[in-house]
Each structure stands twice: as structure tokens, then as C-alpha cells.
Amino acid sequence: MAISENPLEPGLYIVATPIGNLADLSPRAADILARADLIAVEDSRVTAGLLRHIGTKRPMIPYHDHNAEGMRPGLIARMTTEAVALVSDAGTPLISDPGYKLVRDARAAGRNVVTIPGPCAAIAALTLAGLPTDRFLFCGFLPSKAKARVDAIGEVAAIRATLIFYESGPRLSACLSALAEGLGDREAAVTREITKRYEEAVTGTLTHLAMRYADAPPKGEIVIVVAPPGDEPLPEAADADAALAEALTRLPVAKAAGEVAKAFGLDRKELYARALRMKGG
């Protein structure tokens, strides 16, 4: 790859890096990394391997969830006279990684901010899944605690868009089961090892996929892509209203809405508002 000998303009450079296959590093990204005065990294060992791939060494400084608040002012100050590149371990920085506050503060301080686009696991998985792509929502990692996970799923259940989640192998089956319970048994795809030798995209319903991985948690980086709800709501709104009316005869409003939301895979907040109307509140 040809590397320019001209110095970079001071500022922040957001550099997307490969999610598996090093050949996916763009010539422009390689050029920026080779000329940066400093690279803010998630893990210096990972980025050092990438720099070896392009035949260069550059100063690195850690920037991650645990130190971002303390590191940010110093990085902003250095951008006055230096070109600072921001990378994550894989893919596009800021996507399920720290960084947006660095961009915001750099702009507020009048620093030059440049993006060098490239690989993103969420977008790559969407292209593999064979599900609608005209409207989609990236949801990141779901919470590990059961109640918080149910609440998070309930917040997106009624959204008419393809949903994209990140997940780890050991939690995959439980996550798929929770999605099936909260969203209904929709079509979905589990993608892993994207761009690597053993790239895989397994499709089926959420329940089918949960059963597939129950006894064999996969390795590697995993992206779950879930189809949007169907054109005809399942179950019918009238059925949900009937169940809600019955639940209100024995439960407070909030608990009645929660019970019906869980049973029908509907949005709890919407049902709560409907229950208030039924009660005349």
C-alpha cells in the first residue's frame, strides 16, 4: 500500500478496521494509520498486529470504557498540533464502542474531525441475513440480567424494522429464547466469524435457533438479525384488549399491562396506556 509522505492535518481521524479479514483494511485507512502522530486504541496488542500487517509502527494510547473520561481532555489537547486516530479492536469505532463523546468534545473544541469508513459487523450481518433492509435498528448488546433484558426487548417489540443485536456465544441460546418470548417466533439469522474462513449465517425462527445452540454454544463474534413484525399483528388487537380487560379485573394497571405484554409479545408501555384508557384514567 502506498503511504503518503505528507503530514496529516491535526485533528481526530475515526478509522474503521477489519472485523476479521485483514485484507478488508482500505488503502486510505492504512495510509491514515501509518501517518497518525498517535493512535487511540481499545487494545494495543490487537492494533499492533494490524500495524505489523501494513508494515509500520506508531505511538499508541489506550482509550476504552474504563479510562475514557480521564483520557479525553488530554487527547483533545493533543489534537491541536497532532493527528490522532481512533480505532476499536475490530470494525467501525463508536458502534457498540466508546467514542461518541470524544467526537462531540473534539467538535466543541473546534478540532478537525474526519471519518475513514469501512467494515461494520452489524451492516455485514444484515447483508448476509436475507431479511428486510429498507428499515433497521441496531440494538447492540442486550442486558445480561433477565428483567432488564425483558424490558429492553419490550421497548423494541412493536418497531416495524429489522432488529440487529450483538451477542456472545455462551449467552446466545438464552438471548434467542428471550427474543422469541418477547418478540414472537420471528424469522432470524445468527451470523458469526464474518469475513473469516469459517463465516456462517444460520437462518430459522428464533425458537429453532435457540434450540440449535442450546447444547453447542458457538465461538467467535456473533450478530443476531431479527425480522420485523408481520403486516398483520399477531395476536389480533381485539384479543389483546380482551385479555387486558380480564387482567384488569384482578390486577393493578401496571401489572395487568405487564402480564398481557409478556403473553402476547406486545409493547408494555402501549398496553399500559391502553389499560389506563380502559380504566378511565
Q: What is the pLDDT of residues 150-176, one digit of tens each?
A: 999 999 999 999 999 999 999 999 999
| Cell numbers that stand for 160 in this block | 416495524
Instruction: Domain ranges for the chain, please list them.
Output: 11-119, 122-226, 237-279
Element of type H or E holding 103: helix 100-108
Residue among 87, 32, 40, 86 at smallest CA distance from 61: 40
Q: What is the CATH number of domain 11-119?
A: 3.40.1010.10
Q: What is the pLDDT of residues 211-262, one digit of tens each?
A: 999 988 998 889 999 999 975 444 455 677 888 888 888 899 999 888 888 8
| Cell numbers that stand for 44 in this block | 494495543
Residue among 247, 202, 254, 198 at smallest CA distance from 224: 202
Distance CA 14, CA 43 (A): 16
More confident site: 96 or 200: 200
Q: Cβ distance 112 to 11 under 8 Å?
A: yes
Q: DSSP 3-state helix, strand, coil percentages of the chain (rounded to 5)?
A: 40, 20, 40
Domain 122-226's class? alpha beta
| Cell numbers that stand for 253 in this block | 394497571
Q: What is the pLDDT of residue 76?
A: 97
Q: What is the pLDDT of residue 62?
A: 96
Q: Cβ distance 71 to 61 under 8 Å?
A: yes
Q: What is the pLDDT of residue 2?
A: 64
